[in-house]
Amino acid sequence: MLRSMYSGISGMKNSQIKLDTIGNNIANVNTFGFKKGRTTFSDMVSQELSGATAPVAGGRGGVNATQVGLGMQLASIDTIHTQGSLQNTSRALDLGISGDGYFVVTDGDAEYYTRAGNFYLDAAGNLVNSSGLQVLGEDRAPINFIDIAGDLDNIKSFSIGADGSINIINAEGELIETDVQIGLAKFPNAEGLAKAGENLFVTTPNSGVAAELTTPGANGTGTLVAGTLEMSNVDLSEEFTEMIVAQRGFQANTRIITTSDDILQELINLKR
């Protein structure tokens, strides 16, 4: 069979993976804290038809190797952790990170990391995300407003500072001083984090671990911007351009297969 047919199949298969990645990016264009994916490719092993030879002094010159490629393969699907734009919401519990770092949330057993800062207070006074996971402070303890103010009814208003500090005004109009601060995690290789769904990331052997949490603005982390949420970093114009490139690549590879099929048909017709 013709090598070109199998090369075309590999191109079609991996162009489809590129389209899958683009489709996921576009689907999450309005997902808070979403980080887009990027697909890269590499060529497959090449078959050597003849080897290279070195030049002979005073004689014949060198000859390059003769190789034929056997198609292409998926090299990586990268997660691009660039900053998304901050959208103003004017809601006290909506927090955007301006810079590096991730909020840390837990279900009591495992830790997860997220850039989506749409948080809420539950009936027990816990600061939680939309899935009910508790937000951790810089001391890795869950943040609970009842522990800070004594009673939710005792809270007249509150605000969260750029350094993650929580400022509460009680029912008497007095400021409740607290040393509770929202913690951020920073990783040696953030692009090594794995997506776990629900706007969450988990660590992998290549991401490294956040041994200690830090307060926003310290140790290279960004600051918090209260009343904002980070939008996805998906650029629709870029995604549609990449969609066209992937579509044309897919079409070109199908043409390779049909052309190879025509050649095989001609070979079969030689017997007639």
Structure tokens at 88: 């103003």
Query: What pLDDT does 11 receive?
Result: 93
Query: What pLDDT does 162 receive?
Result: 93
pLDDT at 227 over 90: yes
In a domain, 158, yes or no: yes
Kindly list the distances between the CA atom of residue 183 and the CA atoms of 96, 121, 129, in Å, as whole numbers in the listed order: 13, 17, 14
Same domain, 159 and 258: no
In a domain, 51, yes or no: no
Task: Please write the tens of the pLDDT for every residue from 23-32.
Answer: 999 999 999 9
* C-alpha 248, offset from chain centre: 26
Total domains, the chain: 2
Host H or E run for residue 256: helix 236-269
Same domain, 94 and 182: yes
SS3 at position 104: strand
In a domain, 81, yes or no: no
Q: Is residue 153 very low, low, confident or very high in pLDDT (cuts 50, 70, 90)?
A: confident
Same domain, 93 and 218: yes
Interatomic CA distance for residues 237 and 209, integer angstroms: 35
In a domain, 48, yes or no: no
Same domain, 226 and 240: no
Q: Is residue 265 very low, low, confident or very high in pLDDT (cuts 50, 70, 90)?
A: confident
Structure tokens at 135: 């937000």
Same domain, 212 and 242: no
Of residues 14, 26, 44, the one with CA closest to residue 250: 14
Domain of residue 27, residue span: 1-32+71-76+234-272
Residue 52: what residue type?
A
In a domain, 226, yes or no: yes
Task: Please write the tens of the pLDDT for every residue from 175-188.
Answer: 887 888 999 999 99
In a domain, 261, yes or no: yes
Query: What pLDDT does 1 receive?
Result: 60
Same domain, 95 and 5: no
- Mean of pLDDT over the chain: 91
Same domain, 216 and 103: yes
pLDDT at 225 over 90: yes
Q: Is residue 152 very low, low, confident or very high in pLDDT (cuts 50, 70, 90)?
A: confident
Same domain, 111 and 138: yes
Task: Please write the tens of the pLDDT for every residue from 86-143.
Answer: 999 999 999 999 999 999 999 989 999 999 999 999 989 999 999 999 999 999 999 9
Mean pLDDT along residues 200-229:
93
Query: pLDDT above 90 covers what percent of the chain?
Result: 67
Same domain, 113 and 224: yes
Residue 24 neighbours by CB under 8 Å, 6+ apart: 37
Same domain, 187 and 208: yes
In this prediction the pTM is 0.87
Q: Which comes out higher in pLDDT, residue 40 or 155?
A: 40
Radius of gyration of the chain (CA): 28
Same domain, 238 and 107: no
Mean pLDDT along residues 224-246:
95
